[in-house]
Structure 1
Amino acid sequence: MPEPTKKTVKEPEKAVSPDPAVAETKPEEPKEAPPAPTGSSAPDTSGTVSDCSAPEGLPESHRPDTRQDLTGLFTEKPQSGEVNVGENITFVARVCGESLLKKPSVKWIKGKWMDLASKSGKHLQLKEHYDRNSKVYTFEMHIIAAKANFAGAYRCEVSSRDKFDSCNFDLVVHEARTTDGFDIRTAFRRTSTDAGEDSGELDFSALLKKREAVHVSTEPEVDVWEILQNAPPSEYEKIAFQYGITDLRGMLKRLKKMKKEEKKSAAFLRKLDPAYQVEKGHKIKLQVEVANPDAEVKWLKNGQEIHPTGSKYIFESVGNKRFLTINNCTLADDAAYTCTIGEEKTVTELFVKEPPVLIVRNLEDQMVMKGERVEFECEVSEEGAQVKWEKDGVELTRDESFKYRFKKDGCKHVLIINDVTKEDCGHYRVKTNGGQSFAELMVQEKQLEVYQNIADLTVKAKDQAVFKCEVSDENVKGIWYKNGVEVKPDARTHITHIGRIHKLTIDDVKPEDEGDYTFVPEGYAFNLSAKLNFLEVKIDFVPRQDPPKIHLDCMGRTAESTILVVAGNKLRLDVPITGDPAPTVVWTKGEKVLTDSDGRVHVESTKGHCIFTIEGAERQDEGVYSVIVRNPAGEDTADINVKVVDVPDPPEAPRILSVGEDSCVVQWDPPLFDGGQPVIGYVLERKKKKSYRWMRLNFDPFKETTYEAKRMIEGVPYEMRVYAVNAIGMSRPSAASQPFVPVAPTSEPTGLCVDDISDTTISLKWRPPERIGSAELEGYGVEYCKEGSDEWIPAFPSLTESTSVIVCDLPTGEKMQFRVRAYNMAGPSLPATLQQAVTIREIMQRPKIWLPRNLRQTLIKKVGETINLVIPFQGKPRPQVTWTKNDELLDPKQVSIRNSDTDTILFIRKSERKDSGKYEVQVQIENVQDRASVNIQIVDLPGPPQNLKVIDVWGFNVALEWKPPKDNGNCEITGYTIQKADKKTMDWYTVYEQYRRTNCVVSDLIMGNEYMFRVYAMNMVGLSPEPCLSKDSAYIQKTGIVYKPPSYKEHDFSEAPKFTHPLVSRSVIAGYNATLSCSVRGIPKPKITWYKNKMDITNEAKYRMFSNQGVLTLEIRKPCPFDGGVYMCKAVNDSGEDIIECKLEVRSKQ
């Protein structure tokens, strides 16, 4: 996509804020900030002059050390700018990285708190890059297609360790001058704006909504009006669905009216807008302004006059303005509205926006046989919603062959595919304007399954032989063969086909019927075979007694004379016997005699046969069975080995070894029990985690225990399970695997470089991959190898989440190559490798101390505060650090010093006055060194002033004088506080604060009063703890006639205490402060004592006592039930005493 045109940022002094209030409160730029270059908004920064780069052509020795001259972290600050709506603008900030130990972190903020990193998307892009030559970090904020609400105050903050700097700037967005003031997609789109909400727009009010971020590709804006004008009418419906325009009627009407020019109206000062839109269920107010305030207007909807009915339509008339309010808008209100005054009229279109159509129930994967019918069904949130069906990205439509049919039933939408073929395999998608869902269709060729195979038979003459088989398709016909010759029905031979069962019946078996019989289904390249054995029993006639004899044949036995029976089937042993008289038969298994009382076992004897039957054979029925026949002429025995075979046990849950973009590798262990028959393979199934339908992945048994499953959808969770198959059948399914998500490996990490190197270590750093995919990044793997070798050695036993590592224990002087790979669920990415091998050897670097700016002035601390000095330095190999104070080494008992490779820390936990002084730090490598000093001043409160004297008293004035304190607290005395007090009350009042001189005149004193004075000293810490009190008082003489007291005896005003207002008993609630009040009279002022249950409570912190003009108050703080009781107040003076009491009840909270 071509780079969008960028708007040049204007000079700060030329930017005019549209809001005067904003212009007045705009923060002032620092004086040392450089002016904004005209090209600061361009993406190419090669022409931008950075404060960290020296002019070209100067020798290295004449280049200034700009690192010492920095007044902040910024070398170029973003400047205020202006832009028109729809245009682009870029703000640039640059930071010099020479003095920084690590990459600085930058935040772009709008207003007071909005971090713009979360708004990056279609309209906002944040970029950064680092120039290794100039060591300058450049940070850019690109605003694309600016909107009016983007205007406001912005702030850029940069921080690195203990350093911080920020810069404020403004953005002014001017409205674009256009003839048409609305967007067709806004006017005709009924879908809710929530469905298409753009997480990249700077709509800060939208942050109050809980929503998920929507990733929108940065595609260029399209002009839908232009597309409609140039498109044929047959494409209108497709364009409407693509751009979310669901009202085709309104779109065509507006398209016809585009070229019509509205005439000026004499009746209307302001007409209706061309179109309005409102969300379903909300209300809207239509407004016109008429020329005649007394004019009456009519409102029409689709040409029909609107009459006020209930609360649906409300007409209002305010001066020249006329309003029509439509409440609770529905789709029926989507129409053309007209306001008329006589022959004059104004028309508008109202569009009611519907909520987005969401997919409530997703499609399900399906696996069917060729020729079957398939139905894909989904459920959406709205009835009658429009959906689109696609196959492998191609839209499906109805055709003449009715291959695809689309069905709607309320909220359900069904895609029906008739007579599916292999070409119908693929991924199907249903789309709405609010979501989409995928499903896969797999079509398999029809395979005939054999439910019951024909078995070998051994029969005797004149018996009946029946060959029977059962197949999966009842419509399949077949042909019977004997020794390769087709069998034709006759009087003894019958062929039947009933449903899925095919039978060949031979009556009155003769020796010539013996042979191989085969059943061949029509249309399938396989057959079923069995053998008919003719048993000829020869009995020699011997009169009288004949010893018993067992005649065993090979029925159902293998070469090892073992009879196989499938678990669950009937085990029947039919053994021919002879003997005269008829022998008795006994069946045993081991030492146990088997009889009919054993439940599933049935034993019966007929003439010439003994039959042993077990219903529903089980595994424990396996073993050696013995049959014993006896008569008076003797006995005979025979052993029959019976083996019970079954389907295998289900395997354990499979394990997912790795995943790919649309595949996974699954592994499992063989079942613990194979059912007595070797496992011939496995069948695998998968399903989506939220689905209930399992899809078979293979029909022929897969012999290995590791399988790669493909054709999955990236980002969708799946589960796998496996069946074991032997000659008997298929086991039950295993437990499902852990859910997994098919994902592709990430792209390789970017920007791999060497950050630092020593004799045995190397520091590497890189940036995350550009493409991570739908799976989370698990970490990074770091590997190294010697130059010329192909053996890569992991640097760490596990993955690391950091993008910078230190690899240790490397051989000194060797040339090593390093690479980094990103890992996610799909495995490792392609490696990011250094361009060339690195020699493991430390690079010599002169020692240099980088003294922070705040330590270049005297560091002032209060007594008791913590001192923590962090001073970074550089130097390789690691320099030796020495601290001194006033040219003496520091005492490690008082000061803690910690040194690292890049800084040194001086720490004093609790500072004292003696810690003041000049501290000097020295870093030294061999005979090269660097020094830096730090002045520390520990300050404390000053002592009291000295020798406060009353120098003179005249009129209502007093002259005071004092001397400065002996102890100034180790800092300058900033002033004094002078206070006065009437000797009668000794209540102190401040006369002067922050007074600088050591003498003053106190005026406006009251005649006849005698005053005392005191002075506090003040420094930067605060007031002195103690004041200096004047030794002498100052009496203000009365002027005029001198009063001569009479000679008579002075009246005694003494009065014993007496309570004039009693205490009142109260009931209060626990937890809320309570007060008890009374009033007392007495001369001299009586002493007041409070009691609770006759116990003095004067000094208890729970109570507070107040006395004001004889009114006594006792405050009980947050009483509890324990505080209830009898409270008493006692007043005592020289003339007597008085007591009053009351009861207090404290109730607990209800």
Structure 2
Amino acid sequence: MASILGICLDVGILKMHPFLLTYPAFLTESSTKTQTAEIGATVIFEAETEKPVKVRWLRDSKDIASSYKYTISAEGNLHSLTINNIAQEDALGYAVIAGMSKVKFELKIKESEEPKEAPPAPTGSSAPDTSGTVSDCSAPEGKYKSLPESHRPDTRQDLTGLFTEKPQSGEVNVGENITFVARVCGESLLKKPSVKWIKGKWMDLASKSGKHLQLKEHYDRNSKVYTFEMHIIAAKANFAGAYRCEVSSRDKFDSCNFDLVVHGNKNNYISTDAGEDSGELDFSALLKKRAVHVSTEPEVDVWEILQNAPPSEYEKIAFQYGITDLRGMLKRLKKMKKEEKKSAAFLRKLDPAYQVEKGHKIKLQVEVANPDAEVKWLKNGQEIHPTGRYIFESVGNKRFLTINNCTLADDAAYTCTIGEEKTVTELFVKEPPVLIVRNLEDQMVMKGERVEFECEVSEEGAQVKWEKDGVELTRDESFKYRFKKDGCKHVLIINDVTKEDCGHYRVKTNGGQSFAELMVQEKQLEVYQNIADLTVKAKDQAVFKCEVSDENVKGIWYKNGVEVKPDARTHITHIGRIHKLTIDDVKPEDEGDYTFVPEGYAFNLSAKLNFLEVKIDFVPRQDPPKIHLDCMGRTAESTILVVAGNKLRLDVPITGDPAPTVVWTKGEKAHWDWEFCAEMEDGRVHVESTKGHCIFTIEGAERQDEGVYSVIVRNPAGEDTADINVKVVDVPDPPEAPRILSVGEDSCVVQWDPPLFDGGQPVIGYVLERKKKKSYRWMRLNFDPFKETTYEAKRMIEGVPYEMRVYAVNAIGMSRPSAASQPFVPVAPTSEPTGLCVDDISDTTISLKWRPPERIGSAELEGYGVEYCKEGSDEWIPAFPSLTESTSVIVCDLPTGEKMQFRVRAYNMAGPSLPATLQQAVTIREIMQRPKIWLPRNLRQTLIKKVGETINLVIPFQGKPRPQVTWTKNDELLDPRQVSIRNSDTDTILFIRKSERKDSGKYEVQVQIENVQDRASVNIQIVDLPGPPQNLKVIDVWGFNVALEWKPPKDNGNCDITGYTIQKADKKTMDWYTVYEQYRRTNCVVSDLIMGNEYMFRVYAMNMVGLSPEPCLSKDSAYIQKTGIVYKPPSYKEHDFSEAPKFTHPLVSRSVIAGYNATLSCSVRGIPKPKITWYKNKMDITNEAKYRMFSNQGVLTLEIRKPCPFDGGVYMCKAVNDSGEDIIECKLEVRCKYMPLTKKAT
């Protein structure tokens, strides 16, 4: 028999896609994740959807196809997957996909001795009966005894994640309480973890806190363990189900599942009243109960519907079939090869979608079959009329719609129609990223104050998101957080801050983010009136009174360390800021030390109650004086400690009859034997003598009050002496300014020296603070004292200057802060330079070159350090005394014949980077080369120059040692008075400042090293304007026509005649008008002349330089006779010849050799003549001297003079006129001229 297992679709998917229904789970929701079956059994997984849509079943992320192993069936909206004859390899992860929703589940295999059978799955009904399963869960015999073994919760303690203790599954009776506890170790966490308690699969219980649910958390500083508790109070039957606890901290995440079983009747399982029980855990009222019906309609493929639908209907279809990711849907449609129907009206339709950035321009283009056809453009079904932003263009068969300065309102569907046919596209307007101009500031405030975090973004009206410790902040009911916008400023306001508000706050935009830390401290309690010592008699009233700054602070009274309880004689009152302790009918047992301790503050107020008892003792008349002390002497055990600033009170019991005289002294008796009360004049010392007591008081003890105090009592019967050792302790002195030892990408190491004076108590640690250089807020880095004197501060922002300071802490308190350290900037070293290679080498020098590092960071690059060492040695010698900013250097004074290794390091504020080294050592020796001329390609054909232009021929060559260069013209040596020649190690330059016709000819250059030589020749042609044509004659005149004839000019300007320009003029006005331009023949017919007028004619000759300076004028005139016929020329509409630029010949990617001039050519057309701009790697190079631009009859040429490998890249030519623009680009690769040769050591 087949065991039936049900799959429940995720309730979270129901929230996102309202057309997926949950299949009722007959046990717990944990069964939807893991199912267990026996080997050889058959398992059926079922899923139900509201509408009959197509679903996909996946096994281990791969599609499952129907076969003998897997049976896939669908009946209306009920889909099932049957796995037959289960084997061990079937224990994998599975998933079902409906629309854009996906639910994952697993199949586990267990071994069984006896096969168990289960009743077969019902096939006649699509809605299974779940009443039996609910009753089973409501009356369990024991803990999970009613659940099948495969559905029982997993209670194993897998502690490999963040949890140190996971919440355990439990059961409870209706009306009882239960608590679930989770613990997380915080030693390895940088901040407090965030915890979510979830019921089912989606309901966050944080919003359900109330009378039935309480969430608590606390942190143990000693063990550094976070404890999170969930208390369920007065449980109800509908609280039963599966729960999950999720904990996350930055990039770490862990979760744990557990179950709750509630024993009792479930009469009211579904709650529809959201009033009183709105804080309960019942979420079944959120689900709408629907009647499941079987549909006999065939399955529909939503993608086929989308393929055949226009883009304007995409949103409607997506909503109907539960698709929410519209952009993903458009991408998938674009990838699907959809066969477009051939349109009779459109030769080329619009693309399915376009994208443009906000503020930019976009051009939509279609191509129509009929050039005279009229098109209409529509936006979301509404016709678009031409405006300044919407421009219509028609060029031949092409129709353009240009949208200038696109805004978010232009994000719409656009349609181009011709009659009944149309083409549709979707335009997406992309907003530019919003940058944070001014960052957040760290803040440290007192509890109860108001905090404002303010930042400034690059655009007004931008959307920002505020987060606290990774959790998004929203406006809650208590108005804890308020969000304010003022133009580009965004403010987060937190009212009445508490300790729970401490943490890291972040503001995020689509283009950046900024962090700030908030620290909240308790308010300092001020004492306006301290309690005073009292001396009262029997039956009197004693009143201790004090006044503090906060009237809401409560406190506790203690007597000798024991809490005072109110009774008939003792009264405790608290009125405003005043606290009183009143004792009526004072008795001897009331004498003692009374202390008032404010709640929540680590200090106390103390005073002493002295009982003055009047009694008559019958004692002997002569009794020597006696001092009764248990702390006499100068040992460490008998030393009295007093904190500087506190009151020192020495109450010494004495006896003697008659009453003795008391004298107090300080210091060694041999030196200081004076009465203390007489010498102290500052009013801080008070001495009182009562019967049986001698009291010595110093108000506000200071460091100089430390020492040995002696008390001497005398009477006629004798004297007694006692020594009391008093030590005054204080907070330590501030340490010296800390030193920054090193900095990292987001950290620094700081060191300081201990304070010179520790206050009389050993220093137990230090507290550090940091702040940004431009800020005034100091942020504490550690709350527990740090014992070492070297500390690594982390979590800083790279590139921002900081300062540090330190406090010393002893048992008394914390010292004043030290002076601030020198400002420093956390920054990481750059990456190593790239492409280190040898450019040239000689007997004592070597030329190195490299490229900058790929990662430089926020700090500026200070330069490069070049070092070298002999092969086999570790002693690296700097090649230069300081850093160099250039990426190529020449290292001189190297030993000839030695094998040397070189390395280059980049330096910034953080220090040197990792070195870039050569792959092998280099032998310092010049390499012999035979002479070779590298004639540039443009000089291999005749060089044509105009008269007066400058001739500058740069011809590179190679050869070592330096070859001898010789120039000749037509086999004769050049005259140095007319031609300048400059030679270098690598090239030779022929320069003629102002060329003439006689400079034309064949120039030859020869390079020679001893008996080896190489030659190259260059043909130069100097051209000039041609002379005028000769012998212009009027051959014939008939009707309105005149025949002309002439002869070519004698001087053609040293180049071919390309044509003639013929002009005519009425003899009355002598205004000349051009009849023909670039006319190639030497005879022509001038037509359409006006009868009754007499005409003169002239002809200009034209070559590649231009028109001849003087024309040839006809000697005879031509008169057009009147015929009496009125001539009416036909009217015509002037044609618009304007045309947007278009490249007719593309740029061709080239690979050239370094050092030889290279050219890039293309051709463009456009009316009016477009403006041409050249770019390299999108940078304008128009004004750079390295490049020359030519334009001749639409042929564009870019000449790159002596390119080097760094001139390689992407070159782009851009043509712009009033009708539009066009862009074309190519890649240029520059190869090295030769590879350096090295000799291996023998």
Query: If the length of structure 1 is used for normalisation, what is the TM-score?
Result: 0.39
CA distance change for structure 1 residues 362 and 551 in 2, over 3 Å: closer, same or farther? same
Deviation of the 1:855 alpha carbon? 0.8
Task: Identify the residue that residue 38 of structure 2 maps to in structure 1.
Answer: none
- CA drift of 1:1024 comes to 1.7
Q: Gaps spanning 5+ residues in structure 2: where?
A: 1-108, 671-680, 1232-1239
Give the secondary-structure state (helix, strand or coil) at the position aligned to 1:1090: strand
Larger CA deviation: 94-103 vs 496-505: 94-103
Deviates more, 1:862-871 or 1:422-431: 422-431
Counterpart contact for 1:361–1:378, Cα < 8 Å = yes
Q: Deviations over 1:575-601 (max 9, x none)?
A: 9999999999999999999xxx99999
1:440/1:894 Cα in 2 relative to 1: closer, same or farther (>3 Å)?
same
CA distance in 1: counterparts of 2:184 and 2:1015, whole angstroms: 27
- List per-residue Cα deviations over 1:802-830 (Å, max 9, x = no partner): 55544333232221111233445543333
The 3 A distance-change label for structure 1 pair 846 and 629 is farther
How much has 1:935 moved relative to structure 2?
1.6
Relative to 1, partners in 2 of residues 1:495 and 1:440: Cα closer, same or farther, differing over 3 Å? same
Counterpart of 2:193 (choices 90, 100, 104) is: 104
2:502 to 409, 415, 425: 425
Does the CA contact (< 8 Å) of 1:654 and 1:722 recur in 2?
yes
Shift of 1:254: 18
Q: Tell me the alpha carbon deviations over residues 1046-1069 of structure 1, each in whole angstroms, 9 at most, x when there is no partner.
A: 999999999999999999999999
Provide the aligned length of Structure 1 versus Structure 2. Answer: 1108
Contact 1:84 1:173 in 2 (8 A): yes
Shift of 1:942: 2.3
Between the aligned partners of 1:759 and 1:860, the Cα distance in structure 2 is 43
Shift of 1:498: 20
Are the counterparts in 1 of residues 632 and 638 from structure 2 also a CA contact under 8 Å?
Answer: no
Contact 1:275 1:348 in 2 (8 A): yes
Contact 1:557 1:564 in 2 (8 A): no
Q: Does the CA-based 8 Å contact 1:190-1:244 persist in structure 2? A: no
CA contact (8 A) 1:373 1:420 kept: yes
- Conservation of the 8 A alpha-carbon contact between 1:456 and 1:556: no
Cα 1:533–1:429 change in 2 (3 A) is same
Q: Secondary structure at the match of 1:238?
A: helix
In structure 2, distance between residues paired with 1:140 and 1:912: 99
Q: How big is each residue's C-alpha offset from its partner over 1:59-105, in whole Å with a ceiling of 9 and x where there is no partner?
A: 99999999999999999999999999999999999999999999999
Answer yes or no: is the 8 Å Cα contact 1:651–1:670 preserved in 2: yes
1:317-346: CA deviation from partner (whole Å, max 9, x where unpaired): 999999999999999999999999999999
Return the alpha-carbon distance in structure 2 between the equivalents of residues 398 and 705 of structure 1. 45
Q: Does structure 1 conserve the Cα–Cα contact (< 8 Å) formed by 2:311 and 2:426? A: no
Deviations, residues 998-1045 of structure 1 (Å, cap 9, x unaligned): 677878888887665544332221112123445666788999999999
Contact persistence 1:480–1:518 (CA under 8 A) = yes
* Unmatched segments (≥5 aa) in structure 1: 1-8, 15-29, 175-188
| 1:1131 pairs with 2:1215 | yes
From 54, 60, 77, give the equivalent of 2:149. Answer: 60
Q: Distance in 1 between matches of 2:838 and 2:955?
A: 25
**CA–CA distance in structure 1, aligned partners of residues 1219 and 324 of structure 2:** 100
Shift of 1:664: 1.7
Deviates more, 1:112-121 or 1:833-842: 112-121
| C-alpha distance in 2 between matches for 1:257 and 1:1092 | 33
**2:130 aligned residue (32, 45, 48):** 45
Residues 1:498 and 1:702: Cα distance change in structure 2 (over 3 Å)? farther
Report if the CA contact (8 A) 1:563-1:643 is conserved.
yes
Contact 2:238–2:269 (8 Å) recurs in 1: no
Q: CA deviation at 1:453?
A: 19
Q: What is the CA–CA distance in structure 2 between the aligned matches of 1:1000 and 1:63, rounded to whole Å?
A: 107
Q: Which of these residues, 586, 591, 594, is aligned with residue 509 of structure 1?
A: 586
How far the C-alpha of 1:789 sits from its partner, in A, is 2.3
Q: Is the 8 A contact 1:913 1:938 kept in 2?
A: yes
Q: Would you say the 8 A contact 1:122–1:216 is kept in 2?
A: no
Classify 1:336/1:648 alpha carbon distance in 2 versus 1 (closer, same or farther; 3 Å): same
- Cα 1:785–1:693 change in 2 (3 A) is same
What is the CA-CA distance between 1:612 and the residue it aligns to?
Answer: 18
C-alpha deviation, 1:121, in angstroms: 49
Check the 8 A contact 1:821/1:831 in 2, yes or no: yes
Q: Could you tell me how far 1:904 is from its partner in structure 2?
A: 3.2
Distance apart, 1:915 and its partner CA: 3.2
**Greater Cα shift, 1139-1148 or 836-845:** 1139-1148
- Give me the whole-angstrom Cα distance separating, in 1, the residues matched to 2:162 and 2:690: 110
Q: Is the 8 A contact 2:153 2:169 kept in 1?
A: no
CA contact under 8 A between 1:274 and 1:347: conserved in structure 2?
A: yes
Contact 1:96 1:135 in 2 (8 A): yes
The separation in 1 between residues aligned to 2:171 and 2:1111, in whole angstroms, is 61
Shift of 1:839: 0.8
Measured in 1, the distance between the counterparts of 2:1164 and 2:330 equals 94
**2:452 match:** 375
- Cα distance, 1:784 vs. partner? 0.8
Q: 2:113 aligns with which of 7, 13, 24?
A: 13
Deviation at 1:884, TM superposition (A): 3.6
Q: Residue 210 and residue 803 in structure 1: after superposition, are their counterparts in 2 closer, same or farther (change >3 A)?
A: farther
1:643: how far off?
A: 17
**Structure 1 residue 780, shift from structure 2 partner:** 3.9
CA distance in 1, matches of 2:184, 2:569: 105
In structure 2, relative to structure 1, the CA distance for the partners of 1:273 and 1:853 (3 Å cut) is closer
Task: Rate the CA distance shift 1:231–1:729 in 2: closer, same or farther, 3 A.
Answer: farther
- 2:8 matched residue in structure 1: none
1:563-583: CA deviation from partner (whole Å, max 9, x where unpaired): 999999999999999999999
Q: Write the deviation string for residues 649-668 of structure 1: whole angstroms up to 9, x where unpaired.
A: 97887664532355323467
Between 47-56 and 1083-1092, the greater mean CA deviation after superposition: 47-56
Q: After superposition, where does 1:21-36 map in structure 2 within 5 Å? A: none
Question: 689-698 vs 779-788, which deviates more?
Answer: 689-698
How far apart are the structure 2 equivalents of 1:814 and 1:1140? 51
Quote the offset at 1:858 in angstroms: 1.0
Between the aligned partners of 1:688 and 1:598, the Cα distance in structure 2 is 45
- 1:132-162 per-residue CA deviation (whole Å, 9 max, x = no partner) reads 9999999999999999999999999999999
Partner of 1:127: 216
Identify if the C-alpha distance between structure 1 residues 150 and 427 changes in structure 2 by more than 3 Å, giving closer, same or farther.
closer
Shift of 1:763: 3.0
The match for 2:333 among 255, 264, 275 is: 255
| Kept after mapping to 2: 8 A contact 1:659/1:665 | yes
> In 2, Cα distance between the equivalents of 1:886 and 1:445?
99
1:650-703 C-alpha deviation (Å, 9 max, x unpaired): 788766453235532346799999999999997532357899875555789999
Q: Distance in 1 between matches of 2:1199 and 2:407?
A: 65
Is 1:209 the counterpart of 2:288? The answer is yes
Displacement after TM superposition at 1:918 (Å): 2.5
Distance across 2 between alignment mates of 1:973 and 1:136: 97
Q: Tell me, yes or no, if the aligned pair for 1:39 and 1:48 is still in contact at 8 Å.
A: no
8 Å CA contact 1:121–1:215 kept in 2: the answer is no
User: Is the CA contact 1:190–1:355 (under 8 Å) kept in the aligned structure 2?
Assistant: no
> Is 2:897 the counterpart of 1:813?
yes
> Residues 797 and 734 from structure 1, CA distance in 2 versus in 1: closer, same or farther, beyond 3 angstroms?
farther
Shift of 1:790: 1.8
Decide whether aligned partners of structure 1 residues 925 and 611 sit closer, same or farther in structure 2, where only a CA change above 3 A counts. Answer: farther
Q: Is the 8 A contact 2:153 2:258 kept in 1?
A: no
Distance 2:397 2:1169 in 1: 78
CA, structure 1 residues 262+642, in 2 after alignment: closer, same or farther (shift >3 Å)? same
Between 1002-1011 and 853-862, the greater mean CA deviation after superposition: 1002-1011
Find the aligned partners of 2:433 and 2:836 in 1 and give their Cα distance: 45
**Residue 852 of structure 1, CA deviation:** 1.4
Quickly say closer, same or farther: Cα 1:678–1:540, change in 2 above 3 A. farther
Go from structure 1 to structure 2 and tell me whether the alpha carbon gap of 1:473 and 1:293 turns closer, same or farther (over 3 Å shift). same
Deviating more after overlay: 365-374 vs 790-799: 365-374
CA contact (8 A) 1:786 1:816 kept: yes
Deviation at 1:943, TM superposition (A): 3.0
* Cα-to-partner distance string for 1:325-374 (whole Å, 9 max, x where unaligned): 99999999999999999999999999999999999999999999999999
Residues 1096-1105 or 872-881, more deviating: 1096-1105
Which range moves more in the overlay, 443-452 or 115-124?
115-124
Against the structure 1 CA distance between its residues 1082 and 980, is the aligned structure 2 distance closer, same or farther, given a 3 Å change threshold?
A: same
Could you tell me how far apart the structure 2 residues matched to 1:402 and 1:554 are? 60
Question: Cα distance 1:40–1:407, how it changes in 2: closer, same or farther (>3 A)?
Answer: same
CA contact (8 A) 2:936 2:1156 kept: no
Find the aligned partners of 1:973 and 1:67 in 2 and give their Cα distance. Answer: 99
1:678 matched to which residue of 2? 762
Does the C-alpha gap of structure 1 residues 745 and 190 become closer, same or farther in structure 2, counting only changes over 3 Å? farther
